[in-house]
Amino acid sequence: MSELYLGVAREYISPKVGGHIFGYNMFTYSTAIHDDLEITAFAFSYGKTKTIIINATVCLVCVAFCDEIRKELSQKTDIPYENILICSTHTHTGPSLADSEDGWYSDVEYYRGIFYPAAISVGLKAIKNSEPVRVAFGCGKSYAGVNRRKLTLENKAKLGQNPWAPFNPEMNLISFKNKSGKVVANIVSYSAHATAAGGSYTEISRDWPGIMTDELEKVSGGLTVFFNTTMGDTGPRLSTGGTGGHGYCHVEEIGKIAAKDALEIYGNLSDYDEISFSVNCGILNIPVKPRIAYDVAAKHLNELQNTDGHLDSYVCNFYRKVKESYEKGYEEKEFKEIPQTVVRIGNVAFAPFPFEMFTEIGFRIDEAVEDLKIIIISYTNGQLLYFPTEDQLCRGGHEINLFKHSNFQQYVDNADFYAVKETLKNIEKLER
């Protein structure tokens, strides 16, 4: 059996104060930096298989920016483009790296001046730091999060806490030690929006995951990153009864709960062992509907084009893209093809998506795979918004509105069935 090598590196990527804060609306600007944003790279190699996973404490990174970074790193190394993954923790108190073509604000100056060079640098440094490692895996429960699709008396969903709806309390930890017995890195995976600070908070922050990773780093000595899993319908379980807080006190409230749970899992880790590692690059073929009619798109575009809201601007852009597709002679497709690179570390496999995945989808995928623990990573290699389960469409809400307008050929209602089915095909092809 080959030996697993891992190299880790980190750089700080806080933006200049005064820039736009992304996550709630188009009109919030930073007034200070509470805690520095970070970008961390994990460079894995196992025999001929090599992979880089880059984790950034920002809200999201659009497909175009991810593609550029992945291509540049691939050209500078011998790592295939498909084997490079870029994920975000989804903090709502950081800069915007969204796709301006989709009607969102994008801080291109921040991307060019800070984020892009740091992503390239940290990836190359991680490769240079590569050394043999052994691995330990731990799992526990945390109630730092909760389902956030609260039901009204009219059976419609709004942002809030829904304690009886699907929620995954599982927190997973993968820890890596070098041959001298030093912990060099940790990966914590859990599910909850990083929105504890709330929309009125104007300081740059990693939100609650930052407190958790800092505490684990202090105790273990290894660089620690957070993978946000099926966060599409989950948020922090705040004492206010909501999932968006009113300042840093709520960041500390949830961060301390999550940190305590992560440290307990770390304290109960078993022996660090030599493990195998594999990667499979596949495609998710998600069926899409025919476009809405040209006249319908033009009518809605005319009604919405003067709005400035966070959601309305995106919906407006959806109708614009539909209208332009007819004008440019676009040929309709049966499927939206979405690349997916699944990564197995021993008996654990990460299944990444460029969406904010709903909880039940992760349950279904994990239950169907008998020999591996499957962990979803949301917002990896792009930002394609929410991916709900079919049963939630009738209840509407913020997530459903964005799902319906995220692709100008809308996804079929049972797109979740195909996401599960296609992911299982990719996992099946992983070498064991």
Per-residue pLDDT tens digits for 49-66: 999 999 999 999 999 999
Confidence tier at 336 by pLDDT (50, 70, 90): very high
CB 40, CB 82: distance < 8 Å = no
Looking at the predicted structure, is the pLDDT value of residue 377 above 90?
A: yes
Looking at the predicted structure, is the pLDDT value of residue 306 above 70?
A: no
Comparing C-alpha atoms, which of 213, 22, 244, 261 is closest to residue 146?
244
> Residue 311's pLDDT is what?
65
Mean pLDDT of 418-429: 98
Note the pLDDT tens digit of each residue in 98-114.
988 777 789 999 999 99
Looking at the predicted structure, is the pLDDT value of residue 309 above 70?
A: no
CB 353, CB 339: distance < 8 Å = no
Mean pLDDT of 136-140: 98
Comparing C-alpha atoms, which of 42, 36, 413 is closest to residue 224?
42
Mean pLDDT of 360-371: 98
Rounded-to-integer distance, Cα 115 and Cα 107, Å: 10
Looking at the predicted structure, is the pLDDT value of residue 310 above 80?
A: no
Cα distances (angstroms) measured from residue 159 to each of 40, 72, 89, 152, 195: 31, 39, 20, 10, 12
Looking at the predicted structure, is the pLDDT value of residue 2 above 70?
A: yes
Looking at the predicted structure, is the pLDDT value of residue 264 above 80?
A: yes
Rounded-to-integer distance, Cα 25 and Cα 198, Å: 12
CB 87, CB 352: distance < 8 Å = yes
Place of tokens 């893209």: 321
Mean pLDDT of 271-284: 97
Confidence tier at 304 by pLDDT (50, 70, 90): confident
Q: What is the β-pairing status of strands 373-377 and 348-352?
A: parallel
> Residue 101's pLDDT is what?
77
Looking at the predicted structure, is the pLDDT value of residue 153 above 70?
A: yes
> Residue 198's pLDDT is what?
96
pLDDT top residue among 29 and 25: 29
Looking at the predicted structure, is the pLDDT value of residue 421 above 90?
A: yes
Residue 361 is encoded by which pair of tokens? 């989808």
> Residue 314's pLDDT is what?
81
Quote the pTM value: 0.96
Cα distances (angstroms) measured from residue 285 to each of 206, 218, 421: 33, 43, 9
Farthest CA pair distance, the chain: 68
**How many residues are recorded in the chain?**
432
- Percent over 70 (pLDDT), the chain: 98
DSSP per residue, 290-348: PPPPHHHHHHHHHHHTT--SHHHHHHHHHHHHHHHHHHTTPPP-SEEEEEEEEEEETTE
Residue-averaged pLDDT of the chain: 96
Looking at the predicted structure, is the pLDDT value of residue 77 above 90?
A: yes
Mean pLDDT of 65-89: 98
> Residue 217's pLDDT is what?
98
Note the pLDDT tens digit of each residue in 158-202.
999 999 999 999 999 999 999 999 999 999 999 999 999 999 999
> Residue 303's pLDDT is what?
84
Looking at the predicted structure, is the pLDDT value of residue 308 above 90?
A: no
Looking at the predicted structure, is the pLDDT value of residue 413 above 80?
A: yes
> Residue 100's pLDDT is what?
82
> Residue 221's pLDDT is what?
98
